[in-house]
Structure 1
C-alpha cells in the first residue's frame, strides 16, 4: 500500500518530509519517479496530468493539497468509486480573511492609487470611505466565505452573502438562489468572489452580473480565474461602471507577460497568494484519512461529487 504525490511545479519534498514525520511507516512515491501503479491506493495531488489516475487500478482516495478540488473534478477520466477529499484548515481560513480584509481596506482608502501616484511623483489626495459606511457582498458562504464575512464584520463593515442554497450565517445578511441574486448584487459596493468552481459558477463574473452592481462597485476575485470573463471586467471598468478590481487568481497561471491586466491601472494583481497551503499544517488531516482508508472508515472532508465541492 503506497501514497503517490502528483504536484507538477510544487515542492513535493516538503510534503514527503511532513508526511513521514507524521506517519513514519508510510511508503511514498513522487510522480513521475518509477513505481508500481498497482501498489498505489492513496494519491495526494494538485493539478495532476489529465487521465493519469485511470492507470491506477487499486486507487481508493484522491486527496487535494488545498481547499479547491476543481483541478481534480475537471478530469473526466477519474476512476469510478474513488473518494475525493479536500483540505479544511484553520490557517488557510485565517489567511484568506486577512487577505480579503487587506484588499477591501486598500480599496476604500485608495492605497493602490497612492502607490501609483508615488511613481509619478504626484501629490494626489482623494476622499475615502469608512468601514461602517461600506457594504461588502460575498459570493460563496462556505468555510472560507464565512471566515471572510466574520473578519469583515469584526472590522465594522456591513456584510451580506449569497450562496446557491439557503445559509444562516451570524452577522451576515444572507441571500440565496437565482431569484435573490440581483437584490444581493444591488447592495454590494465591493463584491468578493469565494465561490467553488462548478459548471454553474464558471464565467459567473460577467457583464450581466457586473451590470447589477451599483455604479462604482469594486470586484475582488480570490476563488478561481475561470469564474471571471476577463473581457467583460475590463469593459465594465473602462466604461466607468466598475471602479476597479483586485485579482489573485487567473485562467492561466503564471499570468502571461502579454496579458492586458498587467498594464491596466485599475486592476491590482497578486500571484495567487491569498491563502497558501502549508504542508506541516494540513498533513495531519491527510495522514488521518490515510489511516481511515486502511481501516475502511469514513473519511473527513469528503467532496460531494454531485455538488462539485
Structure 2
C-alpha cells in the first residue's frame, strides 16, 4: 500500500527536498506518492514549513501527522485548525551547525581574536588570553540544541551551566531551573547563550533587570529566537559596558532592517540567521523515519507539547 505525502512549503524548497525525501522514504521500505499537490482528503502525512500557504488543516481528515521542516514551531503550534500530531525538526546536521556556531563565536570572544585581526601593523602586545577553566558559560535552554552546545563547550574546559523552565540533568553541567534558577544562572554568566523556544513566557528573557544581573562586561550570544531579548535594554547595557559584546543571529524582524542600531553598534556582531540551517540531505532522514514510525504504529519522534509551545 502506498502512502500520500504532501510537501507544503515555499516553492523554492521543493527542488532541494524532492530527491532526498524520495530517496530516504524509499530506503525505509515505504512506497510513497510524494507531491506538492494532493487532495486534502487523500493526504497521509504533511511535510511542512510554517511559511507555507497551507494554514487550514481542517480538511486533512486522513492525515496522521504534520512533520515540520524547521526546529522552531512558534508559527504553527497555536494554529486553531491543527488537529494532528506535530513533530518538530531535529537532525544531526542542524545540531552540529549550532554547536559550531556557538563554540566558534565564544572562542573568538574568549581569545580576543578581534584585537589581533584588526591591530595596526607592528603592534606587539603579548597579553595572554584567559583559560576556559576560568570562564563561565551559561546556556539558557537545555533542549536538544542547548544540551549539545553545553556538552561541547564543557569539552573545551569551560565552566558550563544551563537553565531550563523545568529541572534537567546533564552530566558535567550545572543545571538551574525555574525563576530563581534563572537569576542564579545569569549571575555566573561570563557568556550567556540563548537557545530557548519563542513563547509568551520566554519573550524578553533578557531585559533591563536580567541583563543587570550578569557580571559587568559579559557577552551575549543569541542564535535562538529574536524575541528572547529586549533590543532597547540590550543596547542600553552595551552603551554602559554592562554587556561587553553581543553576537546576534536572530531578530524580531528578518532581514534586520538596515536602519536598526545593531548594524552600526561597535559592540554588536550580526550573522544573518545562519547558526543552524536545516539541510535537506539530513532532515529528510528525520522525516522518513517519522513516516516509517507512523506506518508501523510506533510513537513519532520529536512531538511538540502544544501546551508548552515547543
Alignment TM-score, normalising by the size of structure 1: 0.89
Kindly state the Cα deviation for residue 219 of structure 1 after the two structures are TM-superposed.
0.2
- The one of 28, 34, 43 equivalent to 1:28 is 34
Residue 3 of structure 1 pairs with residue 5 of structure 2: yes
The gaps in structure 1 that reach 5 residues or longer are none
Q: Contact 1:217 / 1:243 at 8 angstroms: preserved in 2?
A: yes
1:98–1:151: 8 Å Cα contact kept in structure 2?
no
**Cα displacement string for residues 136-181 of structure 1 (whole angstroms, at most 9, x for unaligned residues):** 0111111211111111111011111111111111111111111222
The aligned length equals 302
SS of aligned partner of 1:162: strand
Shift of 1:243: 0.4
Q: Distance in 2 between matches of 1:12 and 1:121?
A: 50
Separation in structure 1 between the aligned mates of residue 123 and residue 135 of structure 2, nearest angstrom: 26
**Pairwise mapping of residues 82-121 of structure 1 onto structure 2 (< 5 A)?**
82-115=84-117, 117=118
Q: Over aligned residue pairs, what C-alpha RMSD do you find?
A: 2.3
Superposed counterparts of 1:127-142, under 5 Å:
128-142=129-143
> How big is the shift at 1:295?
4.4
Task: Quote the residue 1:12 is aligned against.
Answer: 14
Structure 1 residues 261 and 123 mapped into 2: Cα distance closer, same or farther (>3 Å)? farther
Contact 1:40–1:56 (CA<8 Å) still a contact in 2?
no
Structure 1 residues 129, 138: closer, same or farther in 2, change over 3 A? same
Partner of 1:170: 171
Corresponding residue for residue 67 of structure 2: 63
Shift of 1:50: 7.2
Q: Deviations over 1:223-248 (max 9, x none)?
A: 11121211111111012110010111
- Mapped to 2, the partners of 1:4 and 1:114 lie a distance apart of 52
| Residue range with higher mean Cα deviation, 227-236 or 288-297 | 288-297
Q: 2 CA distance for matches of 1:8 and 1:203?
A: 30
**Which structure's relative contact order is higher, taking Cα pairs within 8 Å and 6+ residues apart?**
2
**Does structure 1 residue 234 correspond to structure 2 residue 240?**
no
Q: Post-superposition shift, 1:183? A: 1.4
1:153 is matched with: 154
Pair 112,145 (structure 1): closer, same or farther in 2 beyond 3 Å: same
Q: Is the 8 A contact 1:114 1:124 kept in 2?
A: no
Maintained 8 Å contact 1:134/1:158: yes
Cα 1:68/1:57, change in 2 over 3 Å:
same
Q: Which has the larger displacement, 123-132 or 214-223?
A: 123-132
Regions of 4+ moved over 6 Å: none
In structure 1, C-alpha distance between the alignment counterparts of 2:56 and 2:296, rounded to whole Å: 22
